[in-house]
């Protein structure tokens, strides 16, 4: 069989190709596409073209918007705009820091006030508990010298005196100053105070103050009363201190 006859036989069946194509297309459209949408190539192609057109339109609008913003920025260019913006940011930061500091300060003041109230409440409670104890000798006998000074400070204050505790390193022996012109020395030792102690006390203030009180919780020797006969000095032992705790104010013989 020659090549020519083969070609002639093939061409004699040309109608088979369109029939197969039409049959396949018909099967795809009527049967396959309803169950397998991904086989609808024409629709997919059309949607793809529409999406490309929509993306292109959006890109054009975005480009136009950017160009307009750039143009407006050029027309409204302000060389100090960036500097002013930085100043505004710094001012906002400063205000924010001031606000935080103010809130912190108020918080600290509130905490301090609450602590002060708590301490004052505890102090008043302690004072209330100590009030009956100050009327007992044992309370004063058990105190140290410094504790005695602090307790007497409270007693004098309660009696209405404007009282001041002197410094601990006061070499003159004066422990309290009442109303600016009355001096007080305090002793709480088991040994009674003697006349030399009174002489030193008198010499330390006779030219600077008007009156004095010498408090000796454990009392005085006999010669002490003779020394103060012509002097504005009161000698107070534990009994006199208890009377002051009960409200009796010191009195001098003018």
Question: Do 217 and 183 share a structural domain?
Answer: yes
Query: With contact defined as beta carbons under 8 Å apart, do 179 and 161 qualify?
Result: yes
* Res 232: pLDDT: 93
The two three-digit tokens of residue 116, written as one number: 């002060």
In a domain, 5, yes or no: no
CB 192 within 8 A of CB 218: yes
Q: What is the CATH number of the domain that holds 162?
A: 3.40.1350.10
Residue 60 corresponds to which tokens in the numbers above? Answer: 């054009």
Q: Which domain holds residue 53?
A: 15-77
In sequence order, what E strands does 145-198 have? 163-165, 176-178, 182-187
Contacts for 249-253 with beta carbons within 8 Å, 24 or more apart?
249/159, 249/160, 250/213, 252/211
Per-residue pLDDT of the chain (254 residues; tens, 9 = 90+): 566 676 666 666 666 677 667 776 676 666 655 665 655 556 667 777 888 888 888 888 888 888 877 776 666 656 666 777 788 888 999 999 999 999 999 999 999 999 998 888 887 787 777 777 778 889 899 989 888 998 899 899 989 999 998 876 655 678 899 999 999 999 998 889 999 999 999 999 988 899 999 999 999 999 999 999 889 999 999 999 999 988 899 988 76
CA distances from 29 to 34, 40, 246 (A): 8, 8, 117
The pLDDT of residue 95 is 92
In this predicted structure, what is the pLDDT of residue 28?
Answer: 65
Nearest to 148 by CA among 236, 248, 232: 236
User: Do the domain assignments include residue 138?
Assistant: no
Give Dmax (Cα) for the chain.
170
Give every strand in the sheet of 233-236, ordered side by side: 163-165, 176-178, 182-187, 211-216, 233-236
3-class SS at 215? strand
Contact 213, 250 (CB under 8 A): yes
The pLDDT value given to residue 29: 62
In a domain, 165, yes or no: yes
71 and 93 part of one domain? no
pTM higher than 0.85: no
In a domain, 122, yes or no: yes
Residue 109 placed within a domain: yes
Domain match, 110 and 199 both: no
pLDDT at res. 16 = 66
* Residue 164 shares a structural domain with residue 238: yes
């Amino acid at each position: 069989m020659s090549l020519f006859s083969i070609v002639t036989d093939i061409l004699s069946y040309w109608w088979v190709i369109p029939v197969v194509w039409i049959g396949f297309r018909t099967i795809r459209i009527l049967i396959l596409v309803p169950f397998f949408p991904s086989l609808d190539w024409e629709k997919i192609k059309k949607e793809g073209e529409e999406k490309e057109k929509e993306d292109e339109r959006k890109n054009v609008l975005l480009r136009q918007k950017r160009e307009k913003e750039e143009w407006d920025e050029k027309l409204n260019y302000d060389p100090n705009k960036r500097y002013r913006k930085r100043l505004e940011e710094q001012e906002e930061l400063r205000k924010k820091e001031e606000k935080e500091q103010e809130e912190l300060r108020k918080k600290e003041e509130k905490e301090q006030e609450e602590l002060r109230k708590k301490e004052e409440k505890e102090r008043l409670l302690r004072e209330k508990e100590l009030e009956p104890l100050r009327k007992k000798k044992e309370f004063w006998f058990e105190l140290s010298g410094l504790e005695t000074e602090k307790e007497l400070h409270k007693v004098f204050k309660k009696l209405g005196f404007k009282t001041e505790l002197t410094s601990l390193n006061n070499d003159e022996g004066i422990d309290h100053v009442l109303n600016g012109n009355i001096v007080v020395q305090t002793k709480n030792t088991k040994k009674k105070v003697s006349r030399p102690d009174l002489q030193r006390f008198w010499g330390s203030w006779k030219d600077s103050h008007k009156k004095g009180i010498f408090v000796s919780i454990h009392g005085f020797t006999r010669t002490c009363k003779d020394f103060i006969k012509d002097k504005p000095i009161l000698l107070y032992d534990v009994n006199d201190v208890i009377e002051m705790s009960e409200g009796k104010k010191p009195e001098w013989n003018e």
